[in-house]
């Protein structure tokens, strides 16, 4: 079923688990993600960033395809604009049929972030879509932004932010960063801050930059209150490695079979991940309670 992120994340918040939000740029990835969710009886979120849309996975093509696939399965599937920055990208995503948008104004000062988020949240809610926002700033691993504590989310400021903007979930900065960490490096997450954020906000929280953070960190982040984990780099890496390995073993392989091999490798990775963050089996007996989107 095709839904916004709102009710699936509230379910995760109430039941203390997390849902994967996986970046997707083509049909093979969309199939791998949705089939994994159905087989694991898990909710799932499909993400695409404005950069990925411009480069390859155009939103006007992907949205109807993902919506069509989502409607054929019985678990909740959301399609979310990842890191929407300018209003044009966001309104385009709404027009294309995305079920959710993220407004990332985290590099602006507080009042401007509030103003921009308020606008997008009210637009989204008017259409029955959900809105994710970010406070504090999850930067880039290559710039070691994960270690810059002045970028971390402040719980009291976050409370004011959420009350004023009415965003449905909040991406928090607690020591992760986007992209690949240096080889062998495991980020140190500020779990005390995360616990305090959860206690203060009592709402679904989002972890960006989960790739390469390690299973132990991810599990602990879920236990401390994370309900949505963005996964991009790790999945793309798995797909690339599987493609290279398949080609090495069979250089003459048919192109379609190569695509299917990559798709199956992605499914293995996604299904394992769903088990780690506790979203597997959540819709075994329970039916999704929120509204479906047309």
Site residues for Zn ion per CB under 5 A: 208
Do residues 63 and 132 make contact, with C-beta atoms less than 8 angstroms apart?
A: no
Choose the catalytic residue: 82, 89, 104, 168: 82
Do residues 81 and 98 make contact, with C-beta atoms less than 8 angstroms apart?
A: yes
Q: Enter the DSSP assignment of 140.
A: B
Least distance (Å) between residue 79 CB and Zn ion: 16
Alpha carbon distances (Å) from 150 to 173, 175, 180, 229, 282: 10, 11, 21, 22, 37
Least distance (Å) between residue 82 CB and Zn ion: 6
Cα 210 from Cα 207, distance rounded (Å): 6
143 part of the active site = no
Least distance (Å) between residue 99 CB and Zn ion: 18
Q: Would you say 36 or 52 has its CB closer to Zn ion?
A: 52
Cα 130 from Cα 11, distance rounded (Å): 14
Q: Would you say 26 or 211 has its CB closer to Zn ion?
A: 211
Least distance (Å) between residue 168 CB and Zn ion: 16
The set of residues, in sequence order, having a beta carbon less than 8 Å from that of 22 and lying 6+ positions away, is 29, 33, 44, 45, 46, 47, 230, 231, 232, 235, 270
Do residues 245 and 269 make contact, with C-beta atoms less than 8 angstroms apart?
A: no
Q: Would you say 31 or 208 has its CB closer to Zn ion?
A: 208
Do residues 137 and 173 make contact, with C-beta atoms less than 8 angstroms apart?
A: yes
Least distance (Å) between residue 178 CB and Zn ion: 5
Cα 145 from Cα 237, distance rounded (Å): 22
Cα 6 from Cα 131, distance rounded (Å): 8
Q: Would you say 59 or 209 has its CB closer to Zn ion?
A: 209
Torsion (CA) 123, 50, 262, 100 in degrees, nearest 10: -10
Q: Would you say 6 or 208 has its CB closer to Zn ion?
A: 208
Cα 84 from Cα 104, distance rounded (Å): 6
Q: Would you say 48 or 270 has its CB closer to Zn ion?
A: 48
Least distance (Å) between residue 136 CB and Zn ion: 12
Residues annotated catalytic, as ranges = 82
């Amino acid at each position: 079923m095709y839904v916004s992120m709102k009710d699936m994340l509230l379910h995760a918040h109430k039941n203390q688990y997390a849902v994967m939000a996986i970046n997707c740029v083509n049909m093979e990835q969309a199939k791998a993600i949705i089939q994994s969710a159905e087989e694991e009886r898990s909710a799932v979120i499909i993400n695409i960033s404005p950069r990925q849309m411009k480069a390859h996975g155009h939103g006007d093509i992907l949205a109807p395809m993902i919506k069509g696939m989502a409607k054929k399965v019985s678990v909740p599937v959301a399609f979310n604009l990842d890191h929407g920055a300018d209003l044009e990208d966001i309104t385009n995503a709404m027009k294309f049929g995305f079920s959710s948008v993220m407004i990332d104004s985290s590099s602006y000062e507080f009042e401007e972030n509030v103003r921009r988020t308020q606008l997008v949240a009210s637009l989204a809610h008017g259409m029955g879509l959900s809105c994710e926002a970010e406070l504090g700033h999850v930067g880039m691993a290559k710039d070691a932004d994960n270690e810059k504590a002045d970028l971390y989310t402040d719980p009291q400021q976050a409370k004011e932010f959420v009350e004023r903007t009415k965003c449905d979930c909040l991406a928090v900065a607690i020591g992760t960063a986007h992209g690949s960490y240096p080889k062998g490096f495991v980020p140190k997450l500020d779990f005390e801050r995360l616990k305090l954020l959860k206690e203060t906000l009592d709402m679904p929280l989002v972890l960006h930059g989960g790739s390469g953070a390690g299973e132990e960190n991810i599990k602990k982040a879920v236990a401390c209150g994370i309900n949505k984990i963005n996964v991009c780099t790790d999945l793309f890496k798995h797909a690339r490695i599987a493609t290279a390995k398949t080609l090495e073993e069979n250089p003459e392989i048919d192109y379609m079979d190569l695509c299917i091999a990559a798709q199956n490798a992605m499914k293995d990775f996604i299904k394992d991940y769903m088990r780690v963050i506790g979203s597997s089996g959540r819709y075994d007996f329970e039916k999704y309670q929120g509204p479906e989107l047309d």
